[in-house]
A and B are shown apart, each in its own frame.
Chain A
Amino acid sequence: MNIENVCKVYKTKNDEVKALDNVSYEFKPGKLYAIMGHSGSGKSTLISILGLIETYTSGKITINNEDISKLKDNDLSNLRMKYIGFVFQDFYLDEHLKAYENVMLPMLINKEIKREERKEKAIKLLTDLGLSERINHYPKELSGGECQRVAIARSLANDPKIILADEPTGNLDEENEKLVFETLKDLAKKGKCVIVVTHSEEIKKYADEILKITKGKLEV
Chain B
Amino acid sequence: MNLKDRLWIIKNHIFDKRNYIFITILFFIFIAIFITLTFYNCATYISYYEKERLASKNINIDINNYSKEKEELIKNIDHVVSIDIFMTNASYNVKEFNSITPGYITISPLIDQNDIEIIKGTNIQKEYDMICPNLFYPHDAYETIYKSDYLKGKEIVDKSVVINNQTFTIVGTYDAKKIRNHLSECFVSKNTFKKLNPEKVDTSQLTIRVDKQENRREVIRALTNIDITNIDINIINTNYSLIYISIFITIIILFISFAIIYNFIKKKLRYRLNNYGILKVSGYQNKEIFKLDILENLIVSTICFIVSAIFFYIVYNLIINSISSLDYYIYTSEINLEINYFYILLSYLFMIIMIFIATKYLNYKYLNQSINYLLKDE
Contact between A109 and B372, CB atoms less than 8 A apart = no
- Distance in Å from the Cβ of B8 to the closest Cβ of chain A? 8
Give the contact-size bracket for chain A. Answer: 20 to 34
Q: Which residue of chain B has its CB nearest to the CB of A108?
A: B5
Question: Within 8 Å of chain B (Cβ to Cβ): is A37?
Answer: no
B282: which A residues are within 8 A, CB to CB?
Answer: 80-81, 105-106, 109, 154, 157-158
- Is A101 in contact with B12, judged by CB distance below 8 angstroms? yes
Tell which of A48, A96, A106 touches B372, judged by Cβ atoms closer than 8 Å: A48
Q: How far is the CA of A74 from the CA of B284 in the complex (A)?
A: 8
| A80 engages B275 (CB within 8 Å) | no
Evaluate contact between A106 and B275: CB separation under 8 angstroms: no
Closest to B278 in A: A92
Contact A96 B283 (CB under 8 A): no
CB-based contact A80/B12 at 8 Å: no
Quick check: A77 and B5 within 8 Å, CB to CB?
no
Chain A residues, Cβ within 8 Å of B375: 88, 90, 92
Judge whether B277 and A77 touch: CB under 8 Å.
no
- Closest Cβ of chain B to A45, distance in Å, is 9
User: B323 on the interface (CB 8 Å rule)?
Assistant: no
A101 to B11 Cα, complex, angstroms: 12
Q: Which of A73, A79, A92, A97 contacts B286 (CB 8 A)?
A: A73
Contacting residues of chain A (28-72) with chain B, CB-CB under 8 angstroms: 48, 51, 53-55
Residue interface mask B1-18, A partner, CB < 8 A = 1? 100110011001100100
A18 adjacent to chain B (CB < 8 Å): no
Smallest CB gap from B6: residue in A: A108
Closest B residue to A97 by beta carbon equals B12
Complex interface residues of chain B between 330 and 378 (CB less than 8 A to chain A): 370-372, 375
Residues of B that sit less than 8 Å from A by CB: 1, 4-5, 8-9, 12-13, 16, 274-275, 277-288, 370-372, 375
Name 10 interchain pairs, CB-CB below 8 A, sorted by A. Answer: A53-B372, A54-B371, A77-B284, A78-B283, A80-B282, A90-B375, A92-B277, A106-B282, A109-B1, A157-B282
Interface residues of A (CB under 8 A from B): 48, 51, 53-55, 73-74, 77-82, 86, 88, 90, 92, 94, 96-97, 101, 105-106, 108-110, 115, 154, 157-158
